[in-house]
Every structure is written in C-alpha cells, then in structure tokens.
C-alpha cells in the first residue's frame, strides 16, 4: 500500500512513505495500550482539555502552514483549506469546553440511588478518508481523547503529509506518547489491529466495500464499530423556490471541495419542465464562470480533483451516462492543463 503525496495540481510525486513494519506496529499497539492504562484515562478531564484546546490554538496560529498542506496534497482550494483548519480548531475547542459537564456522573431518577458514569474503553482505531483530511480526524479525536481513550489513526494513502501534520500537532500540544499515533498500515495489518485484544473499537469513513470488510471483522471479534459510508444526496428545487438562490445553493452543493463531499448534491431534481430549462441554463452559466488554476491562488475557483484515479472514475461515469442516453450539457472532458 503506497502512501504517497502527489500534487494534484501538477501530477508531481513529492514523497513516498513506507508501510509500518510489523515490529514497529507491535510497539505502537503496546505504547497506545500502556498510555491508556497507566496514564491518559487517569488524567483529570481539565488536564485532557488543556491538551485538546492547545491543539486548537496551534492550528489557528499555524493556519497557513496547515492549509498549505491541504492545497498541495489533495488540491483543496485555499479558502476552503483555511476553513477546514479553523473548523478542526473549533471542534477541539468545543469538546474541550463541554466534556467536563458531559462526563460528570448523572443520577437516574427512574432508579433511586443509581448513577450513569461514562468511562473510556481503551485503544481505538480510526480509518479516515482524504476528502477532509483534518476535519475527519478532529471529529473523532476530540471527543475520544476527551473521554480518555487513546487513538490510532490510519489515514488515506494519498494524504500522508496531512496525517503526519496532526501527529505533530498533538505532540506539540503536549499529549503523552501513545495517546495519538499515526500509522501507515497496509490492509493485512489493519485486519490484525482490529483483531488485537488491546484495540476496543473501530471507526471508518469510506466506501461501502471498506465498511463491510471492517464491520465483518469487528463483528467477528465483538468490537464496537462506527461505520460512515457514502451517500447519493438529491437537491430538490420545488415550484416556489427562488431561482437565483436555488442556483447559488446548487453550485455550492455540487462544487464544494470540488464535489468530493459525502453530503454534496449528487443530483438535482427540478419540479416543472419550464423551470428545469431555466435552472439548467443558469447552472451552466455559473459553471462556465469557474476559473481553473492553482488551488493555492485565491483567485482559482476550479481546483483539481484529489487524484488521477478520482479523475478517471469521473470520466468513466460520464462515458457510461452518455452510453445510457444522457446528454452532456456542458464540459464533460478533461481540461487541457497539468494535474488532475
């Protein structure tokens, strides 16, 4: 499994990382388990909050450094990259702020003398995708670290720099060794991690195929799992929808993060043939105004897709749709420029 940084705007291979060795993986598992049992779970919530909130401060202070990684590793437009950095910081701040109250024991009125206590369970494995390299980590790491669990992070193969950036982030924030660990693991190693007695839960955001494989192995080993799979979300434009607002929303819904978004508008349904024609004309006009270029240039509004594989899949989908009778109203071909 090749962990590589390839600049999507140029197609240039920047760096390749080797998979973790089996010996080093055993060391990582041991360290994460020991960090949980001997240290992290016993820290007061306020001290764990100090680490998480410090991570948020570092993200904001070094926002350009973190945003730049997103632009040249997966092609995210610069303004969207900054937005993701600050969103991750906001998530850290939120959980650092509210976890103390949330984790307090609560009396159960229906059972006199009984209390609800929330306790950590141990080492968790997170398998995260490339489309939002920081957000996808933050939404898992913040609550799990605050409750006292330790985390192993297996990121997508095309965003190793982003993965390493967050590992450095928690180290700089003062997290003890083993609390948060990035691993460049291959598929057989992931299987062994899921089956390891020290790992108590798994979460994955990815394809249905990957989710099914993780669910099967987690279920067979009685491990807790959270599976977030893809979606195919419709945008419905009703008869009374203001047309200009609907068009602006549709453009954002389809093109945010270059359309590489699980909650993006995958298809648009317009009620009424006359309004459909007006909508299509307006949508084409807005698409035609998008300006392709370097994602690090603030004036660029059409960045590259994250990888050549993603581009090929899209072109194959267009060809398949045309074969099935679809009409390409605008575009539909690879732009003649470097990158994806």
Tell me what pLDDT residue 157 has: 96
Grade residue 232 by pLDDT with cuts at 50, 70 and 90.
confident
pLDDT score at 268: 96
222-236: average pLDDT:
91
Q: What is the pLDDT of residues 35-75, one digit of tens each?
A: 999 999 999 999 999 999 999 999 999 999 999 999 999 99
pLDDT for 263 equals 87
- Let me know: does 38 contact 71? Beta carbons within 8 Å: no
Q: What is the pLDDT of residue 1?
A: 63
**pLDDT reading at 137 higher than 90:** yes
Residue 229, pLDDT score: 87
Mean pLDDT, residues 181-191 taken together:
97
Determine which one of 228, 244, 299, 322 is catalytic.
Answer: 228
* Residue 199, beta-bridge partner list: 123
Predicted confidence at residue 262, as pLDDT, reads: 87
- CB count within 10 Å of CB 259 equals 15
Q: Report the distance separating Cα 171 and Cα 169, nearest Å.
A: 5
Mean pLDDT of the chain: 96
Q: What residue ranges define each of the domains in the chain, with the CATH number in brackets?
A: 7-103+118-228 (3.40.605.10), 233-303 (3.40.309.10)
Confidence at residue 259, expressed as pLDDT on a 0 to 100 scale: 93
User: Quick one: average pLDDT of 147-165?
Assistant: 98
For residue 254, is pLDDT > 70?
yes
User: Structure tokens of 267?
Assistant: 């298809």
Q: Is 261 a catalytic residue?
A: no
Which percentage of the chain shows pLDDT scores above 90? 96
- Provide the token pair at 75: 């092609």
> What's the average model confidence in pLDDT over 238-248?
97
According to the model, what pLDDT value does residue 293 have?
94
DSSP 262: T
Check residue 189 and give its pLDDT: 97
User: Cα 4 vs. chain centroid, distance in angstroms?
Assistant: 17
Q: Which of 84, 128, 157, 262 is catalytic?
A: 262
Establish whether 84 is a catalytic residue.
Answer: no
Q: What are the residues whose beta carbons fall under 8 Å from the beta carbon of 200, sequence distance 6 or more? A: 121, 122, 123, 124, 149, 223, 224
């Amino acid at each position: 499994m090749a962990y590589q940084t390839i600049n999507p705007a140029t197609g240039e291979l920047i760096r390749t990382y080797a998979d973790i060795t089996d010996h080093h993986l055993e060391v990582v598992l041991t360290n994460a388990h020991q960090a949980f049992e001997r240290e992290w779970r016993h820290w007061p919530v306020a001290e764990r909050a100090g680490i998480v909130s410090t991570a948020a401060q570092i993200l904001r202070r070094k926002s350009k450094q973190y945003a730049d990684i997103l632009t040249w590793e997966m092609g995210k437009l610069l303004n969207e990259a900054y937005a993701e950095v600050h969103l991750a910081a906001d998530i850290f701040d939120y959980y650092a702020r509210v976890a103390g109250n949330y984790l307090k024991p609560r009396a159960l009125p229906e059972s006199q003398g009984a209390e609800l206590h929330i306790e950590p369970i141990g080492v968790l494995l997170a398998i995260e995708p490339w489309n939002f390299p920081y957000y996808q980590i933050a939404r898992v790491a913040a609550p799990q670290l605050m409750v006292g669990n330790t985390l192993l992070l297996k990121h997508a193969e095309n965003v190793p720099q982003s993965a390493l950036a967050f590992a450095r982030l928690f180290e700089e924030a003062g997290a003890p060794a083993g609390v948060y660990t990035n691993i460049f693991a291959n598929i057989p190693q992931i299987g062994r991690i899921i089956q390891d007695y020290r790992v108590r839960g798994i979460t994955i955001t990815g394809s249905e195929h990957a989710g099914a494989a993780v669910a099967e192995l987690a279920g067979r080993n009685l491990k807790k799992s959270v599976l977030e799979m893809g979606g195919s979300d419709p945008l419905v434009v009703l008869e009374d929808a203001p047309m200009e607002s609907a068009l602006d929303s549709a453009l954002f819904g389809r093109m945010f993060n270059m359309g590489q978004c699980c909650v993006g508008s995958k298809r648009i349904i317009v009620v009424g043939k006359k309004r459909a024609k007006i909508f299509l004309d307006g949508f084409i006009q807005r698409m035609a105004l998008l300006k392709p270029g370097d994602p690090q240039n603030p004036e660029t509004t059409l960045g590259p897709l994250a990888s050549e594989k993603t581009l090929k899949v899209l072109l194959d989908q267009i060809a398949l749709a045309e074969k099935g009778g679809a009409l390409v109203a605008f575009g539909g071909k690879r732009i003649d420029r470097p990158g994806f």
